Structure 1
Amino acid sequence: AISTNGDLFIVPVGGGEPKRITSQTGFDGNPVFSPDGRYIAYHAQLAAGYESDRWRVMLYDRQAGKSENLSEGFDRSANELGWSADSKTIYFVAEDETLEPIYAMTARTGAEPKKIVAEGFNGNLGVSSDGKMLVFTRSSLTTPAEVFAASSDGRNVRQLTHHNDAILAALETNAPETFWFPGAGGTRVQAMLIRPPRFDASKKYPLLVLLHGGPQTMWTNSWGYRWNAQVFSAPGYVTLMINRRGSTGYGQKFTDEITNDWGGKAYEDVMKGVDYTIAKYPFVDSTRMAAAGGSYGGYMANWIATHTGRFKALISHAGVYNKPAMYGSTEELWFEEHDMQGTPWTNPESYRKWSPLTYAGELGKYKTPTLVIAGERDYRVPYTQSLEFFSALQRQEVASRLVVFPDEGHWISKPQNSQFWYKTFLDWLATYLK
């Protein structure tokens, strides 16, 4: 795929010719008819070929046949749009500094979105037919998703389901502590830290640094089936999640600062975040640290393996290693062309500079034990990237192990495979950190 463009069409329910209503070169999606039938609200990315451009709230007037950008001044990405019953207000959720609040805005150009449900990571937003109630799911790093409701103005938030209460009552989980630190160039960077169960501040604990993918995503205070921080902390690790440069939820400039800078400010943010954590939390054992990530997080693990020896172990899942080869085999050509600002033949220097392969000779210098994991059906970051990385580790006699899932893609989704993935992950950490 070389384009992120997607347009909206309308077609009579009884059949007929589709009519295109959007034509800009970015992506238009999430269309929702207003209750009075006059408008269609949708969200749009205006930058062509960039899957992480900010999502604007757009309004298509069916009578005038024109679209307006309602939220250009709002520096967050709007998702899951919904209407009030009187067709005057648009609701949506947007990532914001590890959380996902619910916003409301008047359906007119220049209106300022108001945060009406500020707490929690909220999703699957719905509006009741009479417009009096909002319904949504909410989760956190300590609680899987449950269904919540609130009044249409965001007040009277209440939990409707308690499916996980009995299970959670038998577990000890610690809520994340959120903090900020000065990253590359002094820019403020946010991180979350989770203490292990039965935490004793007088003891020293090994540190696990989680490296998120994307690269344009963020670590959220929400529950996840994959890369669950509570599972990682349970054996006795302090888990650190840094929303380094390139993360979403901090404004478009912060997100864009990883473009053509994959191993630059983002890497420095991570290293400075680790330094800050060691200085701030005396219970962190700086002699027992590991780092792990998937996708771009796997790339960052590969980059770390070739640039520092400060970690006792690394885990690279579906990590990019050879940027020119990545371009030639991924199904998302637009992704490489945007983030590297060209192709391997128009901008070869960027592909060389930001490839861990370029620095592969340093693997034998640092010799950090590394677990390499991949899915054979991964078309996003083809598993051959992991094979190349593993070969370089083996040839330089670095302690390493390769695990390939023949029936998985970019993510490990099947329950039995997931159990094996977590066990393999934790066994690797125990070997080098305990």
Structure 2
Amino acid sequence: MTLRLLVIGAALAAATSANAAPRGLTVEDLASMDRVGSPSLSPDAARVVYTVRSTNMDKNRGNTQLWMIDLRAPRPVPQQLTSHDASAADPEWSASGDAIYFLSSRSGSSQVWRLPAHGGEASRVTDLPLGVDSFRVSPKGDRIAVTLAVFRDCADLACSKKRGDEQEKNKATGKVYDQLFVRHWDTWNDGRRNVLYTLPLDAAGKAGKDPVSLSGTLDGDVTSKPFGDRGEYTFSPDGQRVVFAVRVAGRTEAWSTNFDLYDVPAAGGAAPRNLTSDNPAWDTKPQFSPDGKTLAYLAMKRPGFEADRFHLVLQDVASGRKRVLAEGWDRSIADYRWRADGRALLANADDVGQHRLFALDAASGKVTALTGQGYVADFDTRRDTTVIAHATLSGGAQLYKLPANASSEQKPAPLTTLNAARLADVRMGQYEQFSFKGANGDTVYGHVMKPWNAQPGQKYPVAFLVHGGPQGSFGNSWSYRWNPQVYAGAGYATVFIDFHGSTGYGQAFTDSISGDWGGKPLEDLKKGLAAAGEKFPWLDTANACALGASYGGYMMNWIEGKWSDGFKCIVNHDGVFDQRGMAYSTEELWFTEWENGGTYYDNPEGYEKFNPVHHVKNWKTPMLVIQGDLDFRIPTAQALGTFSALQRQGIKSKLLVFPDENHWVLKPANSILWHHTVLGWLDEHLKK
């Protein structure tokens, strides 16, 4: 009866919302939306477990829990599996399909837990003195791999725990460094490394107390910092071996992208063996074929270049012979999975403003598109079943099931409808992709979006959004930080261009921005805005503001000096102001050195050629400057330099600083403040 009343109540709420007057998407809508992720199919492909992240505005944080759908049901209905103040994340099925493993800090620290698939309470699998950052369960179910942050010179975990506790209690806070990294992303180096361990599992799925180190002899992090995950290591199908990716760089770590794959017995007892010593560039994401005879992994070819194309390499385990699969397919793979029969692999990649799922034939390398428009953020495949998390510019990710013979022309079957009731009265802005002749006469793509309530014959002020990276794409996807629908909901049209340097248009197009930050990209932006204005008469391009973050923030400073009459206002989030200062203060030095042709002391001309600081005298456009004080990628001094240059010249400007945010604004209350401040700045200059 209670469940029936809940269903009736939800239906009434949805009906009431659906009958409300239509409106545009608001900042508060965006911040409160539930978010789906991490789909994981059971071994028999009959069920899919996944995560839903909700937002607790009172606690100013997100909370992630596990849900499951029985795909055998005539009308599959999502079922919530966990409910706790502590999140549950990274679900993984047991080999038999009778349980689901996941990470949670419900015991006070992050540990692995096990939940019976058919009901019951979760039990703790690991009980270690240190928090578990990631895990994988052996295909045989007899061993679990975990990654832990430890002091490598400690003999055991208890030593690392004791030293970490002593550091926190020490009243003297100074720290002496003798090599880089000193800090990375948003965290100061405290001397700990991420190390990969394994522990035995008993018949009840309980882990032993004495982990065996697999990577601790190597001076590197498994998983990598700051964004590495369990995709960087894998068990062999028989559970006897583990292959992991690590950068062993020592003093060169801050300017090296040389990740290698190492093979080691799952139970330890032997030194790791380097499988990719022949490649000085990036090797990562190893996965064995279902029969264990082939090891697949992603590899770049050029050392020091983080945006090189990720190729898919297949290595014969017995002989060690390697071959690149689909060499002629000019796309960079983000992630991939083997199909159950081992005859093909599924991979997602940027592709002309979309992020699609493809099938790659393991023998011939033939590539077949499985999805069309939109963004495949995550996916899993078992037997003949594939489930994807798919989003577009008109809605956040939902889970879909692909047909067994999927193609880009077929529509997948929807499995979830998150936020349907919450957004029932929201009308999204209509969008369209377009192309034009950009720099060098090359075809360049972009998107436009109308305000949610656009009327024929009306013109609308423009928010001109410039993506970061710079090797990235602002395409047909959904974002919780830079989302055109928020501007559409506030009455603005938006234009966003995938300029030279963007991904998904071939590696040569991506390469073309390096050493030319202020050249072809600026030309593309100018021509793109003009082309959009000609093609779409509802765009009032003479009444526009430009906005961008990271490289997009750099471009805002560059526009101030080189396109100073183009916009009525500018929003610059975490943007580069002085290339020389950036060269000596950012943490991942390989990035600035590749983009500018070497170190600053060897090639100062490469940095100064497109340095915004040289054109400050041309600045005149009002600018809102935003900075996260924990951003060690583009440090706060860059924003202060920008704001000082504006203030000293009497240019209308504001500075918004978040002491507790990094390169991204992630806390819900801060996100809402960010958006309202930005929209208020646009309103002030475009809606007078």
* Cα deviation, residue 220, structure 1: 2.1
Counterpart of 2:387? 135
Corresponding position: 1:119 with 2:119: no
* Cα deviation, residue 295, structure 1: 0.1
Counterpart of 2:641? 388
Counterpart of 1:342? 598
User: Hey, what's the Cα distance between the residues in 2 that align with 1:4 and 1:405?
Assistant: 30
Aligned runs of 1:320-331 on 2, under 5 Å?
320-331=576-587
Aligned partner letter, 1:250: Y
Aligned partner letter, 1:116: L
* Cα deviation, residue 415, structure 1: 0.6
* Cα deviation, residue 16, structure 1: 2.6
Aligned partner letter, 1:227: W
Secondary structure in 2 matching 1:167: coil
* Cα deviation, residue 345, structure 1: 1.7
Q: Is the 8 A contact 2:429 2:453 kept in 1?
A: no
Aligned partner letter, 1:402: L
Counterpart of 1:87? 342
Aligned partner letter, 2:281: G
* Cα deviation, residue 102, structure 1: 1.3
Aligned partner letter, 2:393: L
Aligned runs of 1:61-72 on 2, under 5 Å?
61-72=316-327
Counterpart of 1:427? 680
Counterpart of 1:286? 541
Counterpart of 2:123? none
User: Hey, what's the Cα distance between the residues in 1 that align with 2:657 and 2:406?
Assistant: 46
| Corresponding residue to 1:274 among 529, 547, 553 | 529
| Corresponding residue to 2:626 among 373, 380, 395 | 373
User: Hey, what's the Cα distance between the residues in 2 that align with 1:170 and 1:45?
Assistant: 46
Report the RMSD for the aligned CA atoms in angstroms.
1.2
Aligned partner letter, 2:448: L
- Structure 2 residue ranges without an equivalent (≥5): 1-253
Cα distance change of structure 1 residues 175 and 22 upon mapping to structure 2, 3 Å threshold? farther
Secondary structure in 2 matching 1:101: strand
* Cα deviation, residue 286, structure 1: 3.0
Counterpart of 1:30? 285
Secondary structure in 1 matching 2:423: helix
Secondary structure in 1 matching 2:370: strand
| More displaced 10-residue stretch of structure 1: 1-10 or 317-326 | 1-10
Counterpart of 2:614? 358
Aligned partner letter, 2:669: Q
User: Hey, what's the Cα distance between the residues in 1 that align with 2:324 and 2:434?
Assistant: 34
Counterpart of 2:405? 153
User: Hey, what's the Cα distance between the residues in 1 that align with 2:542 and 2:367?
Assistant: 47
* Cα deviation, residue 152, structure 1: 4.0
User: Hey, what's the Cα distance between the residues in 1 that align with 2:540 and 2:320?
Assistant: 62
User: Hey, what's the Cα distance between the residues in 1 that align with 2:337 and 2:539?
Assistant: 45
Corresponding position: 1:201 with 2:453: no
Give the TM-score, by structure 2 length.
0.61
Secondary structure in 2 matching 1:79: strand
Q: Is the 8 A contact 2:298 2:312 kept in 1?
A: yes
Counterpart of 2:445? 190
CA shift digits 1:41-70 (9 cap, x unpaired): 111111100010011011121111232211
User: Hey, what's the Cα distance between the residues in 1 that align with 2:423 and 2:618?
Assistant: 45
| Corresponding residue to 2:568 among 312, 326, 330 | 312
Aligned partner letter, 2:660: D
Secondary structure in 2 matching 1:117: coil
Aligned residues: 428
- Percent identity reads 42
User: Hey, what's the Cα distance between the residues in 2 that align with 1:339 and 1:159?
Assistant: 42
| More displaced 10-residue stretch of structure 1: 73-82 or 410-419 | 73-82
Aligned runs of 1:204-215 on 2, under 5 Å?
204-215=459-470
| Corresponding residue to 1:163 among 418, 425, 437 | 418
| More displaced 10-residue stretch of structure 1: 233-242 or 60-69 | 60-69
Aligned partner letter, 1:418: S
The structure having more radius of gyration, on CA atoms, is: 2
Aligned partner letter, 1:378: D
User: Hey, what's the Cα distance between the residues in 2 that align with 1:216 and 1:27?
Assistant: 17
Secondary structure in 2 matching 1:94: strand
Q: Is the 8 A contact 2:373 2:476 kept in 1?
A: no
| More displaced 10-residue stretch of structure 1: 135-144 or 58-67 | 58-67
Secondary structure in 2 matching 1:166: coil
* Cα deviation, residue 274, structure 1: 0.9
Counterpart of 1:177? 432
Q: Is the 8 A contact 2:430 2:451 kept in 1?
A: no
CA shift digits 1:146-179 (9 cap, x unpaired): 1111134325621111112222322010232110
Aligned partner letter, 1:376: D
Q: Is the 8 A contact 1:80 1:125 kept in 2?
A: no
Q: Is the 8 A contact 1:196 1:234 kept in 2?
A: yes
Aligned partner letter, 1:182: K
Counterpart of 1:7? 260
Counterpart of 2:657? 404
| Corresponding residue to 1:255 among 491, 496, 510 | 510
CA shift digits 1:301-340 (9 cap, x unpaired): 1100111222000000000110010010001110011010
Secondary structure in 1 matching 2:575: coil
Corresponding position: 1:414 with 2:667: yes
Q: Is the 8 A contact 2:462 2:495 kept in 1?
A: yes
Q: Is the 8 A contact 1:208 1:292 kept in 2?
A: yes
Q: Is the 8 A contact 1:146 1:162 kept in 2?
A: yes
Counterpart of 2:182? none
Corresponding position: 1:19 with 2:273: yes
Q: Is the 8 A contact 1:105 1:114 kept in 2?
A: yes
Counterpart of 1:231? 486
Q: Which 4+ runs in 1 deviate beyond 2 A?
A: 116-120
CA shift digits 1:245-277 (9 cap, x unpaired): 100000011111101000000000000011112
Secondary structure in 2 matching 1:103: strand
CA shift digits 1:367-393 (9 cap, x unpaired): 100000011110111111111111111
Aligned partner letter, 2:573: H
Give the TM-score, by structure 1 length.
0.96
Secondary structure in 2 matching 1:147: strand
- Structure 1 residue ranges without an equivalent (≥5): none
Q: Is the 8 A contact 1:305 1:368 kept in 2?
A: yes
Secondary structure in 1 matching 2:537: coil
Q: Is the 8 A contact 1:92 1:125 kept in 2?
A: no
Aligned partner letter, 2:440: G
Secondary structure in 2 matching 1:180: strand
User: Hey, what's the Cα distance between the residues in 2 that align with 1:259 and 1:216?
Assistant: 9
Secondary structure in 2 matching 1:326: helix
User: Hey, what's the Cα distance between the residues in 2 that align with 1:117 and 1:177?
Assistant: 18
| Corresponding residue to 2:310 among 55, 59, 65 | 55
| More displaced 10-residue stretch of structure 1: 295-304 or 11-20 | 11-20
Aligned partner letter, 1:137: A
